């Protein structure tokens, strides 16, 4: 796929910026469980936040593909920065833009575009992840407010976000028919952010649980009434291609680059490892895997930009990118030998960050279900 001159400029500029400013602190953010929030302010200063938002809300009006390019290059230097960026420049502002009221758009979107406020998306619960219809956190109308009770798990950026899109049960209708969404601001009485969740990877994303105890939010903060979950899931489908998959691309590309350098630098049995044909083939396989995933991800993003959104195409791209990143980062760690296991080198961090991608934003098993369903319906032809 041929990128335009503008798209290549965005890719190369973000790559240079992230390599210089974000890469040096990536390991510390991981070890200290510290969200690198200052990096988002740097991106805002260079005009790279809110890029998909219309100019009327402070954005630059670019497409999903441009967002993919930014996230991919951020992840090559710091996956935690890429993940935080994909939250505050992702599903929540996208949902507000496409299904929110004009007052909500005016209140939140310009602040997101300038990185003055940060967003999070909260869907998962103890018994509701891929099964959105089983959401139990309840919002009950009370005059000019909704009163929320319940809890949420696995909320990325929870420790730094200012505005949370929260999926709640609004009615007693079963399944997704009774589920809607409200916007909750940090500091709202009855709303608290729980302890930081200790994870295998992406430790600097501020992931935590949310707790609601008679939390009262204004009625105008209702983003999506019950019965319209299809609208919100369409937004999520688009966002699934701009966050998770390009992070996988960036991690895999970084791992491959470090593996190449390691094989060139390290000598065994009197010659550089890079002269071993068997190891050369492994590098070649890794490169092919990355390029195949990149073609799928870029193609899916371009299709959505052109109004050809396909559930199956998004699921294929995400699933392949997820599993590719695990393969490539694992192989890079193997090629580095004992160095691959040391926290003094980035190999093990790339693998840890990549591993969770196959679970977040819908597991690869769930996405395989989506692909098969579209094939059986005849909605996706190969």
Contact 197, 154 (CB under 8 A): yes
Is position 265 annotated as part of the catalytic site?
A: no
Q: What are the beta bridge partners of residue 120?
A: 164
Catalytic annotation, pick one of 30, 89, 237, 353 = 89
Residues designated as active site: 89
């Amino acid at each position: 796929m041929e990128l335009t001159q503008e798209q290549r400029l965005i890719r190369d500029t973000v790559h240079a910026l992230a390599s210089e400013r974000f890469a040096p602190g990536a390991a510390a953010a991981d070890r200290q469980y510290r969200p690198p929030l200052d990096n988002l302010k740097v991106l805002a200063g260079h005009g790279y936040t809110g890029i998909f938002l219309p100019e009327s809300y402070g954005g630059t009006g670019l497409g999903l593909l441009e967002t993919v390019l930014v996230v991919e290059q951020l992840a090559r230097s710091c996956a935690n920065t890429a993940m935080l960026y994909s939250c505050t420049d992702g599903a929540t502002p996208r949902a507000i833009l496409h299904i929110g009221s004009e007052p909500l758009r005016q209140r939140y979107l310009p602040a997101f575009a300038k990185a003055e406020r940060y967003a999070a998306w909260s869907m998962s619960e103890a018994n509701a992840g891929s099964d959105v219809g089983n959401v139990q956190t309840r919002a009950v109308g009370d005059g000019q407010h909704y009163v929320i009770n319940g809890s949420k798990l696995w909320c990325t950026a929870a420790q730094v976000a200012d505005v949370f899109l929260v999926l709640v049960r609004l009615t007693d209708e079963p399944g997704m028919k009774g589920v809607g969404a409200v916007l909750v601001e940090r500091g709202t009485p009855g709303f608290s952010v729980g302890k930081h969740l200790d994870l295998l990877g992406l430790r600097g994303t501020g992931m935590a649980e949310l707790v609601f105890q008679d939390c009262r939010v204004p009625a105008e903060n209702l983003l999506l009434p019950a019965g319209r979950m299809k609208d919100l899931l369409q937004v999520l489908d688009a966002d699934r291609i701009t966050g998770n998959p390009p992070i996988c691309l960036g991690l895999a590309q970084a791992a491959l680059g470090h593996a190449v350098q390691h094989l060139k630098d390290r000598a065994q049995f009197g010659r550089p490892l890079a002269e071993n044909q068997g190891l050369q083939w492994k590098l070649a396989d890794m490169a092919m895997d990355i390029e195949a995933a990149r073609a799928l991800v870029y193609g899916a993003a371009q299709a959505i930009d052109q109004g050809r959104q396909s559930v199956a195409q998004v699921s294929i791209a995400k699933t392949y990118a997820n599993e590719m990143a695990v393969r490539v980062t694992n192989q890079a760690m193997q090629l580095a030998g004992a160095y691959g296991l040391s926290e003094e080198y980035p190999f093990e961090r790339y693998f840890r960050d990549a591993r969770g991608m196959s679970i977040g934003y819908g597991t690869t098993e769930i996405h395989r279900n989506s692909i098969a369903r579209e094939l059986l319906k005849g909605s996706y032809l190969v």
